[in-house]
Structure 1
Amino acid sequence: MSIWKHRHVTVVVSGGIASYKAAMLIRLLMKQGATVRVVMTVHATEFVTPLTFQTLTQQPVVTDEFTMTDPQHVVHVELADWTELMLVVPATANLIAKMAQGLADDVATTTILATTAPKLVVPAMNSHMFANPATQRNLAQLTADGVRVLDPATGMLAEGYAGKGRMPEPDEILNWATTVFLAQQTDLPLHGERVLVTAGGTREPIDPVRYISNRSSGKMGYAIAEAARNLGATVTLISAPSALATPAGVTRIDVTTAQDLLTAVEAEFKTTDMLVMAAAVSDYRPATTAMQKIKKQADHEPLTLHLTETADILKTLATVKQHQFVIGFAAETQALLANANRKLAAKKLDMIVANDVSKPGVGFNGDTNQVTMLRPEHEPVTTPLLSKAAVAEQILLTALQTREEE
């Protein structure tokens, strides 16, 4: 479940050419389930009309302190009390100066001053204005006051030249805001814990251009990393080659081979509270790797590859496991429960997640999955066919429940 679902987010929009990007950010927040309300400065209304934000949010847009739609409530105080997170985006040099000095001369600044919710500021302005010592002093004051400030991007400015002051793209802002907001949610079930997740299919080189691998896209592992982050964990994702974007707030370590993966997992395992081995690790690798590309034989003789087993990562970790809760995966095409239970016992796992990848909509590359979770001395739990995000959440919640019962 998204951390933004049903959250109350107020977006304060000030007057700058980047104001239009606020609409895109609001749309992203709403797609994540947030309820968004907008406050605009008078100058902001010269760049984007209030009707744009009202249509997007389906909420009235506040532009004037003296517009009393509800005479029983003071506009800025009611909105400030409703707010769970405030985003000031874009934040002009003028608005930043007012915030730093505690001025309250319009509806935007009075609302900012009245709220006790966390405040996130996204500066956007000319590069010379941003670098001005006065602006830097004001930003330092905001940081000292506990306001989180996102560093502006470097790029083409409205003035036609490049410099630092450009507003970051909306998806970057959302990722940053997600990381900041999660860090402040101390009541989440995995808060303060370190979760290590592996993902993707490892590659074992045959020669400089060929390798042995599997069909794993990494989607399940990445979904688990994001779900663990949403539950409050500090997450490290060890990823075999994948085209997927790293979830916001997750530390990613890239690996290629099974040996690379083992080395990375061993380095992180000691300080880990929960390990989720969702990576599809190659069981075999070429006994030798050719230094040059292997060419077809002139006499068309078959090519023979000599394979050797890769390291068994879970079995290796079982010998050094202490407090860690370890979850393995079993992708099978037959005898699902028998094979998974064998692996559960042999590798001394706390839980194994098994799926029959021969079924439609289950397993590699798709966006859905159906799994059976097996635990020692527990009945199997099978999910319906769900999105991988929903399956990821169920896996972690089942693990938490199991751990609490021990």
Structure 2
Amino acid sequence: MPRAILCILDSVGIGGAPDAAAYGDTGANTFGHIAEHAAAGKADRAGLRSGPLHVPNLDALGIGAAIQLSTGTLPPGLSATATGGRFGVGREVSKGKDTPSGHWEIAGVPVPFEWGYFPQTEPTFPPELIEEFIKRARLPGILGDEHASGTTIIAELGEESIRTGKPICYTSIDSVFQIAAHESHFGLERLYEICQIAFELTAPLMIGRVIARPFIGENAASFKRTGNRRDFAIAPPAPTLLDRNKDAGHQVFAIGKISDIYAGHGVTHKLKGTGLMQLFDKTLEALEMAGDRAFIMTNFVDFDSEFGHRRDVPGYADALEKFDARLPELIAKMAHDDLLILTADHGNDPTWPGTDHTREQVPILVFSPSLSQGEIGIRSTFADIGESIAHWLGLAPGQNGKSFL
């Protein structure tokens, strides 16, 4: 009874894509630069971690070999040989370096259009958009209206938001409209309500997502975003791997923000979790429930949201090590004909200037007790990942991608 587990290590890129220069990302290398900083003692933090990056399980699956294939350089402390599976490199054909583009293409649907973006000006949002948003959402106004880091702008404007009842609206270089508000003072359901209104207003502009960013705490020093984030996303323009497996009568487990990314399409079971370890627990839980030809897909968002965007090299290194330490648990629960693929949707190099994603190639690490070791090369589209899983699960070939199995 073949099953497939796909783990998206959100933002764990492995070197600039061929078109990285168009995005200002020539030389970006998320995983490689973290390994270099760790080896040089630049990823040490008292009470957290120190020394060279220690990821023996990812290394055995081929992360070092994949980085060398992607960049021509082997980071310190990693091996050029995969001893536990097949490895390769994914190259994106969709334009942009955002979450929906990467995930949709992984699931077999490259983005066929250009996303809409907001300019890097203050204010950043069209005044007529904000005017209509305030009117329809019955708001006293908004705060922010700029490009910003979510944690930074909440610290700056959170107290005023509580006092005035005005939500904090901001964006980034991605195609996104983000709204932060206090989970209890403003209200979680109220936040979801105004995000739905914002989504309806921004959809004609081809803005990919409106993200609800609830936070708790009573002052700037104690504000913290919660796990009740919700993404209101434009639906994929064609059936994805998730739809195909569901339509074939099989289970599709969407863990973390996966269901939101695909606008709920193709999902039979939705499992939420906060933090890398809880998301890993949910993945193991799904595997226990999964029947014949089930597909399990997890997004490990913290790599991106907590460490990439915050340019936190020690935190990112620690997160990679903690994820790595749990991989044997997952592998031990796999049946002989189960398939595990580890990959990413884009990069977010914590050593890079700014706070945005980086246009990078991604690792493709493939393991099954029934698979031999080897190299799958540099794949010309992320869609090869989805097509390989479809082949493994016995689905008919899709329109994009080619199986490497």
What is the TM-score when the length of structure 1 is the normalising length? Answer: 0.28
Larger relative contact order, structure 1 or 2 (CA cutoff 8 Å, min sep 6): 2
What is the TM-score when the length of structure 2 is the normalising length? Answer: 0.29
**Larger C-alpha radius of gyration, 1 or 2?**
1
More strand by share: 1
